[in-house]
Structure 1
Amino acid sequence: MALLKERLKTGERLFGPFVNLCHPAVLEIAGNAGFDFAIIDTEHGEISSDRAVDMVRAAKLAGVSPVIRVYGNQPELIAKALDIGAEGVQVPQVSTKAEAMAAVRAAKFAPEGARGCNRYVRAARYSAADKFSYFTNANQETAVIIQVEGKEGIANLPDILTVPGIDVLFIGPYDLSASLGIPGQVDHPQLVAEMQKNMELARQAGVAIGFFVDDVASAVKWKNWGVQYISFAADVGLLYEVFREKVMAFKNG
């Protein structure tokens, strides 16, 4: 299976859920269902790094690209996510060019960044990877996804997109709606127009665009408009919806 970053570079439109439940089986199910990637959410989920590594293993075995959303723009968190083998790291709360530079610096080995060099980690196959090529290959293959949030981040997008090494610019629709003065109105024509403007900025910078949706119709719409990294709901919400649907069908039957 091609790596997430490779697929983004070829222009594929990819679809994947957030995963909050702390169990490798969820990643296996996601892969068997045909999702392209899954975001292991250590920011809002209940997942620690010692459990995330088994979730990464399960994802790779099931053919779904593992991305880890860290809980802060901190070098040690970013390095840990990549050391355990995530194909991409998603960094939240990026609002300025300096913060974007810090995220890239933490995710890349020298000379592109300052990630600590250690090949006795899972990502380097516990030192089985060639020591002369591992660090270069990791820089080339790892996807850096920055999550721009809040009014400040939206306002600073043109500057943020000048930072080399960003693979995906992820914009939350609710943050974008708030920045436009239409909080929660994620289908508002003003939001759609602003998002399409941001998509063009990202295209000019050679950066893929990411967007969150919570229904399939919206996912298809944004896919057709050019969004490549489509984050879809979360495992807990999807499980609840199916459970609730079955319960109500039983009670009303």
Structure 2
Amino acid sequence: MLLKDRLKNGEQVFGPFVNLCHPAVLEIAGLAGFDFAIIDTEHGELSSDRAVDMVRAAKLAGVSPVVRVYGNQPELIAKALDIGAEGVQVPQIGSKAEALAAVKAAKFSPEGARGCNRYVRAAGYSARDKFSYFGNSNKETAVILQVEGKEGIDNLPEILTVEGIDVLFIGPYDLSASLGIPGQVDHPALVEEMQKNMKLASEAGVAIGFFVDDVETAVKWKKWGIQYISLAADVGLLYQAFSNTVKAFKEA
């Protein structure tokens, strides 16, 4: 099932950021049972010509590929979707106008202004029916907007009025800073604020996404109702596994 459909059904989904530039990472993520993986072209070492192989690997492994672009730019958003990503995650959303621009770039007309081309991977290189591809793509693509900075947090109510947003992704560190408790991502005030945001999003028919550093924190937010939970990054998870193994060996 597509990521967007799972979100619409109210499912809670869980997946890591992927920074390593190798399709095997996506295969392993799928074999491990993650629901999605965020192919990170913002902070990772990935370029779009390598990301397409990551998307292919993800689809084969049964994990939904999301591409985080490195800016709210129409050409970057379109490229991520053209290569077959099930979702695009757009960073640095701070206002309603920026949210509108991101959604417009991710949607074909009449819902947006994404450039029409059916000779791309997402359209099966023209194998998909030309009369249905564009409309179906609008229905199938998950638009994930990453609210960052105090401006974005303050403008959440306005941003949530934009149609076409599937997930509003809130960074815990940005949120903590906006509340005057920088870095205190477990603070009761932050939890209370997130619960308010979740209520606002639910009323707007939008899922809330949240970043966590470890699985224990992920479980807490799962119980509190977050739908789209992203876990650390592949490099951090690999380091932690290596580190724990070495420590266990040396302390034996």
CA offsets per residue over residues 201-227 of structure 1, 9 Å max, x none? 000000001000011111111111111
- AA aligned to 1:49 is S
Structure 1 position 16, deviation (Å): 0.1
| TM-score of the superposed pair, with normalisation by structure 2 | 0.99
Q: Deviations over 1:153-178 (max 9, x none)?
A: 00000000000000000000000000
Q: Distance in 2 between matches of 1:238 and 1:55?
A: 18
Post-superposition CA distance 1:13-57 (Å, at most 9, x none) = 000000000000000000000000000000000000000000000
The whole-number CA distance in structure 2 between the counterparts of 1:39 and 1:192 is 24
Q: CA deviation at 1:119?
A: 0.2
Partner of 2:71: 72
| 2:28 partner amino acid | I
Partner of 1:33: 32
Q: Helix, strand or coil: the match of 1:100?
A: helix
- Once residues 192 and 178 of structure 2 are traced to their aligned partners in structure 1, the CA distance between those partners, rounded to angstroms, is 13
Cα distance in 1 for residues equivalent to 2:242 and 2:186 = 27
Following the alignment from structure 1 to structure 2, what is the Cα–Cα distance between the partners of residues 217 and 29?
A: 21
2-side partners of 1:141 and 1:246: how far apart? 41
1: CA distance between counterparts of 2:29 and 2:117?
31
Question: Which residue matches 1:5?
Answer: 4
TM-score by length of 1: 0.99
- Total equivalences in the alignment: 252
How many angstroms does 1:60 deviate by? Answer: 0.2
Give the superposed CA RMSD. 0.4
Superposed counterparts of 1:29-68, under 5 Å: 29-68=28-67
SS of the residue corresponding to residue 210 of structure 1 reads strand
C-alpha separation between the residues in 2 aligned to 1:132 and 1:149? Answer: 38
Provide the residue aligned with 1:182 in structure 2: 181
Show the counterpart of 1:201.
200
Q: Distance in 2 between matches of 1:229 and 1:45?
A: 20
What does 1:1-253 correspond to in 2, within 5 Å? 2-253=1-252
Using the aligned pairs only, state the percent identity.
84
How far residue 247 of structure 1 moved from its aligned partner, in angstroms, is: 1.1
Q: Alpha-carbon deviation of 1:66?
A: 0.1
Amino acid across the alignment from 1:146: L
Tell me the secondary structure at the aligned position of residue 25 of structure 2.
Answer: helix
Deviation at 1:82, TM superposition (A): 0.1
CA distance in 1, matches of 2:145, 2:121: 23
1:242 deviation in Å? 0.6
Query: Letter of the aligned partner of 2:78 in structure 1?
Result: A
AA aligned to 1:80 is K
Query: What secondary structure sits across from 2:44 in the alignment?
Result: coil
Write the distance in 2 (CA, Å) between the matches of 1:4 and 1:154: 25
For structure 1, list consecutive stretches of 5 or more residues without a partner in the other structure: none
Q: Distance in 2 between matches of 1:232 and 1:15?
A: 7
SS, match of residue 165 in structure 1:
coil
State the 1:150 CA deviation.
0.3
> Could you list the runs of 5+ residues in structure 2 that have no partner in the other structure?
none
Distance in 2 (alpha carbons) for counterparts of 1:84 and 1:64? 16
1:83-142 Cα shifts (integer Å, max 9, x gaps): 000000000000000000000000000000000000000000000000000000000000
CA distance in 2, matches of 1:225, 1:78: 31
